[in-house]
Amino acid sequence: MKTNHQILIIGGGTGGIMTAAQLLKKDQSLDIAIIEPADTHYYQPAWTLVGAGTYNYKKTARPMASVIPNGVKWIKDHATGFDPEKNSVATKASGDVTYDYLVVSPGLVMDPSLIEGLPEALDKGVVCSNYTDPEHTWKVMQNFKGGNAVFTQPTTPIKCGGAPQKTAYLAADYFRKHGLKDKTNVVFATPGSVIFGVKPIRETLEKVIKRYDMHFKPFYAPFKIDADKQIIYFKYTAPAEKRATIESDNVLGEKLTADDVIEMPFDMLHLAPPQTAPKFVKESSLVNEAGWLDVDHHSMQHNKYKNIFGIGDVAALPTAKTGAAIRKQVPVVVENILLLKQHKEASNRSYNGYSSCPLVTAYGKMVLGEFDYDSNFTPDPKLKQMLIFDSSKEHWRLWMLKKYMLPYLYWNKMLKGKNV
């Protein structure tokens, strides 16, 4: 087996496949290999809809072999470590693979162990997560008969930061449609201080929360779950002047204990598990202090090793980890690699932190949160031209975009290296 490649890509997810496809579109003679152990490639943005019973899980999966571009060598193996001084990546079974240029795009991994009790509880009984088993979420939602439906997220970065609240909105709409609204307390608890960081989107979502009579709980950082007693424990993380106070007869049955710990009973619990960079990345010399790939925020080039680039969820970027972000990152990386190949500088520094979060707010309604590093609302010009209305407001056309158009564009355009 050939063990040296011009361009080596770690990861057969959105970032890795798009990068390989776009590179080949520019130059078919390139020698490219992808290290990826999985047999299946998933379109994960649809898992929110699967968890609400409005999308078929099987349609989110395709064989990995069908998405790896023709002409790209597939090394079906696990990457296990780096030796950047020797331009080498270690693998589990295939030995060392060397490269001229490396693209690190393995995504991130779930680490439920960072919340006490979560590994034992996840995807069993009334504890569910669209991140790990959206079909179980749908079962929990259908079996729910009333009480506290709690939706939360961890203190770590997560892929698609808006997904936990989308699930809350869809569940609230489902309960309303099935006559459970008056028997149910829908709670969205977040370690963050606001529902969304971009002002026009936040204003819309505050109206959505009011419409559903949801209990919005900022500064709630989950750290422990007792699945048997159906209690979740939060650390209240607000600044000192905003200490936690809870009425003794509060409708949610919350209890405040010493050290600003809040106990909340639940009859349904949906959460995003804590997430980190994969172990082989986190324990390498390529990461920043927080354990994410240390790349330039605008060129995606590694800050120390100039022939290494990072794309997607693994990258240490102060923006949301989404497929939409990857769509804007890949062309920057592709151009920079081709510039380096011509012995020029990686001078494309045009990535501005663009990301977008399709925030489903009901069955048949959606808001599109698009933003940059400075939390400016930045609608994509192509989408804006196509939609012809303000995407910071709820609209049925945005739902159609989420459910039908984006999956089509993903499989047929993005993964084929075409501009979208």
pTM over 0.85: yes
| Pair of tokens at residue 383 | 């989408």
Q: Looking at the DSSP assignment, which residues form a beta bridge with residue 366?
A: 360, 395
Dihedral sign, CA of 301, 302, 308, 314?
negative
Contact 40, 61 (CB under 8 A): yes
Tell me if residue 44 falls in helix, strand or coil.
helix
Q: Looking at the DSSP assignment, which residues form a beta bridge with residue 268?
A: 149
Please give the chain's pLDDT, 420 residues, in tens: 679 999 999 999 999 999 999 999 999 999 999 999 999 999 999 999 999 999 999 999 999 999 999 999 999 999 999 999 999 999 999 999 999 999 999 999 999 999 999 999 999 999 999 999 999 999 999 999 999 999 999 999 999 999 999 999 999 999 999 999 999 999 999 999 999 999 999 999 999 999 999 999 999 999 999 999 999 999 999 987 787 788 878 999 999 987 889 999 999 999 999 999 999 999 999 999 999 999 999 999 999 999 999 999 999 999 999 999 999 999 999 999 999 999 999 999 999 999 999 999 999 999 999 999 999 999 877 776 776 678 999 999 999 999 999 999 999 999 999 987
Domains of the chain listed by start with CATH number: 4-108+277-350 (3.50.50.60), 112-274 (3.50.50.60)
Q: Looking at the DSSP assignment, which residues form a beta bridge with residue 90?
A: 81, 96
User: How far is the C-alpha of 193 from the C-alpha of 134, rounded, in Å?
Assistant: 27
Dihedral sign, CA of 170, 171, 176, 179?
positive
| Pair of tokens at residue 295 | 């790349």
Q: How many residues does the chain have?
A: 420
Residues annotated catalytic, as ranges: 160, 357
**Which alpha helices (H) appear in 213-306, and where do they start and end?**
279-282
Helix (DSSP H) and strand (DSSP E) numbers for the chain: 12, 22
Q: Which amino acid is at 35?
A: I
Identify the DSSP state of 268: E
User: How far is the C-alpha of 363 from the C-alpha of 174, rounded, in Å?
Assistant: 8
Backbone torsions φ then ψ of 226, nearest 5 degrees: -110, 95
